[in-house]
Amino acid sequence: MDNRKRNFILMVMTVLVLLSSIFLAKDPLEAKVKATWLWDSARIKDERDRILSFAGENEVNLIYLHIDQKQDFNDYRVFIKEASLSGIHVHALGGDPSWATEVNQTHIAELVNWIEQYNRNVSKGERFKGIHLDIEPYNQDAWETNQRQTIIDGWMASMEYFQTLTKDLKQIETGADLPYWLDEIPISQQQDAPSMSRWMIERLDHVTLMAYRDEGIVKLVQEEIEIANELNKKVIIGIETNPMKEKYTTFYGRSIPYKQAQLEVIESSLKDQTSYYGIAIHDYEGWTQLTLR
């Protein structure tokens, strides 16, 4: 083989390698997620650099950002653009226990419509990548009464409505916060009724399990991981850092090394599970305060 032919072959191979690196490059969230919740959207205007700096220092690649529909579009546009440049996806966050009733499903429609309109009017790098619901109707006093099934039925109806509204949205991931114990709650009183966990996981792209404990987290989420494995869905494991009445439900007061050690247990235990999508730390405010102590 002469030198010209050899050089030509080497050039072709180099081009193929470069092309494959471009087309096979992974989206940031094809790797494991490290997420946090940001509830006060006003902070993205005045504290944008601080928030994104903290996210970068702590390898955050997903932010659940609570939406105030009265806030200036431009605040979201600038924040998401800069987050995107740092490899951080932003999902729109909304919800309230009252959204689990038919009369308040309009709030879900308003959120989805707002996101759809916003994404239509900004450039690709400024768009929300997902919509994330935090409804938690079990926080109502009526959950512990004979009204529980009515609440469950309303919650399911609202999630089906959400699914209908979002099914045709392009490049929007759907998710929701769920308690780890929802696998113990059947969707109805019928024999062999599936659990609420299974029902929710089936209908969403991913769920974030609020596994709010300061140890033993993997055992709490095992059933949901197995369900999601079966359904080819994704599960993010959420932990709490804010002060709570039950101290065992939060890492507040715990040292940073202790928290990190528990996160490493989660990672090492679940990394080979196909549904394991990463961790989420609740929330930005609590997490930043934790790092100061």
pLDDT tens-digit profile of 60-76? 999 999 999 999 999 99
pLDDT of residue 17: 37
What contacts 72, CB < 8 A, 6 or more positions away?
45
**Overall average pLDDT of the 274-283 stretch:** 98
Higher-confidence residue of 63 and 7: namely: 63
Prediction pTM value = 0.90
94: closest CA among 81, 78, 107, 80?
107
| Per-residue pLDDT, 23 | 35
Nearest Cα to Cα of residue 198 among 179, 234, 224, 160: 224
Please give the residue that has the higher pLDDT: either 7 or 54: 54
DSSP run (H or E) holding 19: helix 3-23
Pairing label, strands 173-179, 130-133: parallel
High-pLDDT (> 90) share of the chain, %? 88
Residue 3 has pLDDT above 90, yes or no: no
Question: Residue 145 burial by CB count (10 A; 0-12/13-18/19+): exposed, middle or buried?
Answer: exposed
pLDDT band at 6 (very low <50, low <70, confident <90, very high): low
pLDDT value, residue 42: 97
Average pLDDT over residues 180-185: 98
CB 95 within 8 A of CB 67: no
Residue of 18, 156, 41, 159 lying closest to 92 (CA atoms): 41
In contact, 105 and 142? CB cutoff 8 Å: no
- The torsion defined by the Cα of 151, 159, 79 and 87, in degrees rounded to 10, comes to 120
Mean pLDDT of the chain: 92
Of 176, 239, 183, 238, whose CA–CA distance to 207 is shortest? 176
Question: Using 50, 70 and 90 to split pLDDT, how confident is the model at 31?
Answer: low
Helices of type H across 24-131? 43-46, 48-57, 73-85, 105-120
- Which CATH architecture does the domain made up of 33-292 adopt? Alpha-Beta Barrel (3.20)
Residue 11 has pLDDT above 60, yes or no: no
Residue 290: pLDDT over 60: yes
Q: Where does the pLDDT of residue 14 fall: very low under 50, low under 70, confident under 90, or very high at 90 and above?
A: very low
pLDDT score of 13 more than 60 = no
pLDDT at position 170 is 86
Q: Summarize the confidence of residues 239-255 as an average pLDDT.
A: 96
R_g of the chain computed on alpha carbons: 21
Burial class (CB in 10 A: 0-12, 13-18, 19+), 73: middle
Average pLDDT over residues 9-19: 43
User: What tokens does 186 get?
Assistant: 């059947």
Domain boundaries, the chain: 33-292
pLDDT for 224 beyond 50: yes
Dist. CA 240–CA 71, nearest whole Å: 27
- 256-270 and 284-292 helices, crossing angle to 10°: 130
